Chain A
């Protein structure tokens, strides 16, 4: 196969995996519904824990937003791969004569899209509850969210996939995922907080964005390489 055809094949497989996940989800809407409700519950729990005399402490909004994204992301990762495990469908995919890294990219895109939809609800919700001006710098804010979600999902997809065979996967996923994605949460929260400051501090936000983008590049590359090794028995 020529390199061009190989690249074409790679993206076709990735998009097929994404379409498969999308088709299942469009029918049942199970993961989207549960993830969204879970994210909203997270926001409420943090609101009750932090709000004093009707006022949230300064900087609470970005923290709550990113924690809600990470927690509901963990849940979504677990549920997506539970579905694959239950139907033994990932095994079937791995048996198919398709490039393995393409399967990873397909799953990753699915998680990122799902979390993107969740964020479309979460960001206005947090803005609404805490009066956070998320939309003053919409482009930088969106870039920060996308980069942060990709970084979190890149590590999360790999770990959730490799934990599929493990009995204690539910609890091991956050144990492994959170310490490794700490840079994403620090950068996400600090970057968002910089954008919420008045006047917005674009320089700081851009610096954090650059760190997250570098994180994404390193970890997507590493995951593409290790996925092949890890999913081979």
Chain B
């Protein structure tokens, strides 16, 4: 026998009393501190406690770099035709659909026009969440169009890389994008239009081996993984553990592969300074 017995039915469930904590707090992978998400966002997605740079999506990146978070997207309507009808454990077509649904983008890059400290610029920002930011025909074409726009309008261009490299599911098609973008960059170079490559975590494979390393300046965020081959592939090849900090931004800086490692908060002023050097103060040049 129980001492107390509920007289009638279940307790009424008043939904309003629910406390929702999900998504409000984030744990920093680096220092393992719990951070209030709003604090993190106000700090440009950099951990306020240990300065770990969290990955940011393409839209956030554009908003962070461009004045008042204002920009105009262009050439965002291209989609892959799945040229090889590639199927591994899952069909590429369904991977594409899933990624499009998850990110709200058509592929792994966004082209935008906006102003950086008052200077018109073109920015191509890659989206790592879209199949690892991999580069297929759509990414190749979109970035090439951004470069062509830059040549045509003599507008400085920034490309923000965040990619695992070429998109395997488009096979040799994705390899040819390296040649295509690099050829366009040769024309940009001849037109003497500034190009600043911004490498973020991670930038590897075919993206590093083409446009990411071809900026007039190559700058990276702190702690970003940057390399040609992935660390696992290298470990398997040389059959030994890789040294601490191998293929991180600071390692590349030390080996002369980067012009600077710039924390996210100083990224915009740094780029603005560089563009002043390359194109003159705002309003004095063709811009």
A binds B: no
Chain A residues in the interface with B (C-beta under 8 A)? none
Chain B residues in the interface with A (C-beta under 8 A)? none
